[in-house]
Chain A
């Protein structure tokens, strides 16, 4: 089966700095592959390899996508080729706009199974995979924790709140996997070196004819409101510190 894994390049949440007025600074942030997307890549590569198919990667984003380190980070995980839709507007795209671009690209690439992670590491709306599948009018399922391809049949396990479903999917299908689906590999140096030689194709949104109107705009983004805490911290003599803290806890209980 030919598979495509979709991924997003995001600012590392740990590098975001909050100013005193709650505005955020991203200038120190490093950009990384979304951590949930690593599960999508791993699953796409495994399924393709088990079924003598080909696994390729797809992403949409701004110019950062073309960064060679990030390209290698993605291609060092077993896929053979990469497709990127690079457009400055993608940084502000809402989920529908992103999904429309990915759907158009997937149509051009062709696939039996397309994989997404459970959500992006930044917005975590958990909807892009579902939107893409619905836009393409193919089978679409989320919360998939295991994928098995038996002959031509695609059977998945889906972990819902209180139950597990075993489902057979008509291909082509778009599947969002959970982080329980697999353990993403840690690329070795030789994988990273080999990744530099793999083919990469870049499209623009216009080339795909995939522009659409926005549905949701972000009016503001701020650091969470912080709560003032007393910050009474005991150091030094452990017995005394423990006695003091126990008294505080008893008073609070």
Chain B
């Protein structure tokens, strides 16, 4: 890739466009927004700062629009497509990439253009155990910024625009989508019960590891969280292995780039795949009975002791 001048952005939620446009503009690109949703969303998308809107209309599922979008990309040869980090948009992005004989750079923690004009991204691999710099070397690439990158752009933009409000509406081109062209028929759609926790916005975090022997013992962690006004998160085995907590609460590569003031790791061994989530914490505290646990090397303060003994005493002391 030797240039990044013409970039398309796409999301399923109209409110993601301002940040996506900002990400694309930072690359120095002209930006076109691709919108595959309803008319109401179209108004928001056309005032998001993009230079033009490509509206794909008529699909039952957003996925129905993927073949039309891929065809348009093949005809108009944008340099990149940047999509919001949702599961649906990852699929759409991959469908466009396949048509363009390209791949997807997923969950980029940063995106820029290198000296040769190629799109360059940093991302985590091996569950946070390593960081790669990846460069697009083909004529086209799809990139997915990580949620934290998008959130930081949204915040920047909100600060900058202040009371100025939305941009003037831009030109909209509309293309028809054949419903059902994805081969997928929607039978039913229902809301999913999600644990509405937002760890990236939490001022303090108590993180729970496998040092807890039983689910009911998590009450200790919640008690500590109350005492320090913290949200509770966990390691991946606690969320996926024991299923004691919702996946939204697991701290690791996908939820990386947390920036709490205080991060208290309780019964956490300190594997890099979890602790990568604490990198941005101002102060890290560890409680673990194993003196040799790697978590102590990554902590500012800690106690070597049984959490079942230490945590209740600590809560009492904090509440004194």
Q: Which A residues lie at the B interface, using CB under 8 A? A: 11, 13-14, 16, 24, 94-96, 99, 121-127, 130-131, 134-135, 138-143, 155, 158-170, 173, 179, 212-227, 229-235, 238-239, 241-243, 245-246, 248-250, 252-253
* Given known contacts A163-B192, A220-B133, A232 and B302 CB-to-CB distance under 8 angstroms: yes
Residue-by-residue, is B55-78 near A (CB-CB < 8 Å gives 1, otherwise 0)? 000000001001000100000000
**Considering residues B99, B185, B273, B279, which has the most beta carbons from chain A within 10 angstroms of its beta carbon?**
B185
Residues of B within 8 A of A165 (CB): 186, 188-189
Select the stretch in B120-128, B152-160, B212-220 that faces chain A: B120-128
**In whole angstroms, what is the CA distance A164 to B192 when docked?**
6
Q: Judge whether A238 and B134 touch: CB under 8 Å.
A: no
Select the stretch in B2-10, B25-33, B43-51, B84-92 that faces chain A: B84-92
In chain B, residues 124-179, which have Cβ atoms closer than 8 Å to a Cβ of chain A? 124-138, 140-141
Residue B304 interfacial (CB < 8 Å): yes
Residues of A within 8 A of B134 (CB): 216-219
Given contacts A134-B70, A248-B301, A249-B285, 15 further A-B contacts (CB under 8 A): A122-B125, A127-B106, A139-B184, A162-B192, A166-B187, A167-B185, A215-B138, A215-B140, A219-B132, A219-B133, A223-B129, A233-B299, A233-B301, A234-B304, A253-B228
Residue B297 interfacial (CB < 8 Å): yes
**In whole angstroms, what is the CA distance A233 to B192 when docked?**
43
Residues of A within 8 A of B128 (CB): 224
Q: Judge whether B137 and A214 touch: CB under 8 Å.
A: yes
**In whole angstroms, what is the CA distance A88 to B308 when docked?**
51
**In whole angstroms, what is the CA distance A14 to B271 when docked?**
8
Closest to B128 in A: A224
In chain B, residues 94-111, which have Cβ atoms closer than 8 Å to a Cβ of chain A? 94-95, 97-99, 101-107
* Given known contacts A165-B186, A216-B135, A227-B279, A253 and B192 CB-to-CB distance under 8 angstroms: no
**In whole angstroms, what is the CA distance A217 to B135 when docked?**
5
**In whole angstroms, what is the CA distance A225 to B137 when docked?**
26
**In whole angstroms, what is the CA distance A142 to B301 when docked?**
42
> How many residue pairs, one in A and one in B, have C-beta atoms under 8 Å apart?
258
4 smallest CB-CB distances across A and B, nearest first, come from: A130-B94, A139-B183, A134-B98, A246-B317
Residues of B within 8 A of A164 (CB): 189-192
Interface of B is mostly: mixed
**In whole angstroms, what is the CA distance A124 to B313 when docked?**
41
Residue B204 interfacial (CB < 8 Å): yes
Contact check: which of A122, A155, A219, A253 meets B126 at CB < 8 Å? A122
**In whole angstroms, what is the CA distance A131 to B222 when docked?**
42
Q: Judge whether A222 and B131 touch: CB under 8 Å.
A: yes
Shortest distance from the beta carbon of A165 to any chain B beta carbon, whole Å: 5
Contact check: which of A160, A163, A212, A245 meets B314 at CB < 8 Å? A245
* Given known contacts A241-B305, A249-B264, A126 and B90 CB-to-CB distance under 8 angstroms: yes
Residue B82 interfacial (CB < 8 Å): no
Contact check: which of A141, A162, A221, A238 meets B313 at CB < 8 Å? A238
**In whole angstroms, what is the CA distance A167 to B138 when docked?**
34
**In whole angstroms, what is the CA distance A24 to B272 when docked?**
13
Residues of A within 8 A of B129 (CB): 13, 16, 223-224
**In whole angstroms, what is the CA distance A121 to B304 when docked?**
32
**In whole angstroms, what is the CA distance A99 to B120 when docked?**
22
* Given known contacts A142-B90, A169-B183, A249-B285, A134 and B95 CB-to-CB distance under 8 angstroms: yes
